[in-house]
Chain A
Amino acid sequence: MVFSGAVGPPSEPRRSGTVAAVLFDLHTSQRDGWSVISVIGDLDLASAPQLRSEVVGLVARGVTAIVLDLSAVEFCDSVGLGVLLGAQKRLRSRDGTVRLAACSEPVLRLLELTRLDLAMPPFATVEDALAEPVEAGGGR
């Protein structure tokens, strides 16, 4: 049984109807002084730039407090994990805070495999992440 990808999407990176377009989306909202980014779908090399761009854009507009709602992430690999780490680095360099919340099983699995759950302990719910006081100087 051989499948060939000879027919594929056109040059646009994400077109309605492609597998990638169906599998990933971002919704950003404001709650209690935080920007909450809800990540939906697969977080990998195809979608990571979109999440990175969203975080960069928020920081450029002066946002220093971000919650990443990862409850609807259906797949995550090391590239996806790298974007989460990059977000943390970016916010910390500006005395800001990024929190992982409501992580789906795929995200938790990867955090545990890489032991990064110790360095980026996830919050059980978005509400918990919003309620926890921020340490002085940013951080968790």
Chain B
Amino acid sequence: MARVELEIPARADYLALARLVVAAAAGAEPRLRDDRIDDLQIAVSEATTNAIEAHADLSEDERIVIVCDTVNDGVQVEVHDKGGGFDLDAIPSAPHHADDDRLERESGLGIPLIRVLADEADIRNRDGGTTVRLVVYHGARARGAGSRAVIE
């Protein structure tokens, strides 16, 4: 798989394009299962949504950059934005699924979903912006087919 870099305006109507490009790029890796590509699409959608929202106060000229590349035994996607950055540790965990509060919160599941769907995920603040890095593996480090990690 060749390295693919996509630069998009921070607008919600470009989310579908971002998912399509990432899915196509990841699909070029024949060892990556279809269900893992689906998981990667959701994770990228979550990260790019956060990036779009982080750009709310910025100029329309500021772009979000999405880079898709191979790593050892997997595919890595990075989503770069120029928003103000955030403190990952300050993000509250999702309420337990048996907690009524999970029903009350219409948002806040994006980061927990990223953590569950990607084999590796980290979020770094840099130069006034944020980079979300996601990796899904196809080799020995891949999550087993049919496994169902969930947000407890």
Residues of A at the B interface (CB closer than 8 Å) are 1-6, 8-9, 13-14, 18-20, 23, 42, 44-46, 75, 77-79, 81-83, 85-86, 88-89, 106, 109-110, 112-116, 118-120
A-B contact count (CB 8 A): 125
Q: List 13 A-B contacts (CB under 8 A).
A: A18-B13, A23-B16, A44-B12, A45-B49, A75-B16, A75-B19, A75-B41, A77-B113, A78-B108, A79-B49, A86-B106, A113-B116, A116-B97
B86 to A: closest C-beta gap in Å: 16
B2 lies within 8 A of chain A by Cβ = yes
Pair B42/A114 contact, Cβ less than 8 Å: no
Compute how far the CA of A75 lies from the CA of B5 in the bound complex, rounded to whole angstroms. Answer: 23
How many chain B residues sit at the interface, stated as a range, is 35 or more
**B115-131 interface (Cβ within 8 A of A):** 116-117
Q: Which of B16, B107, B151 contacts A42 (CB 8 A)?
A: B16
Greatest chain B CB density within 10 A among A2, A6, A19, A78 is at A78
Compute how far the CA of A75 lies from the CA of B46 in the bound complex, rounded to whole angstroms. Answer: 12
Find chain A residues with CB under 8 A from B151 CB.
113-115
Interface of A is mostly: mixed
Compute how far the CA of A8 lies from the CA of B7 in the bound complex, rounded to whole angstroms. Answer: 12
B63 lies within 8 A of chain A by Cβ = yes
Find chain B residues with CB under 8 A from A19 CB.
13-14, 16-17, 20
B32 lies within 8 A of chain A by Cβ = no
Greatest chain B CB density within 10 A among A2, A83, A112 is at A2
Residues of B at the A interface (CB closer than 8 Å) are 2-9, 11-17, 19-21, 38, 41-42, 45-46, 49, 52, 63, 94, 97-98, 102-110, 113, 116-117, 148-152
Pair B113/A78 contact, Cβ less than 8 Å: yes
A82 to B: closest C-beta gap in Å: 4
Compute how far the CA of A36 lies from the CA of B129 in the bound complex, rounded to whole angstroms. Answer: 43
- Known: A20-B13, A115-B97. Contact between A4 and B7, CB under 8 A? yes
A138 to B: closest C-beta gap in Å: 14
Find chain A residues with CB under 8 A from B108 CB.
78
Pair B13/A13 contact, Cβ less than 8 Å: yes
Find chain B residues with CB under 8 A from A114 CB.
94, 97, 102, 109, 113, 150-151
Compute how far the CA of A106 lies from the CA of B104 in the bound complex, rounded to whole angstroms. Answer: 22
Find chain B residues with CB under 8 A from A6 CB.
7
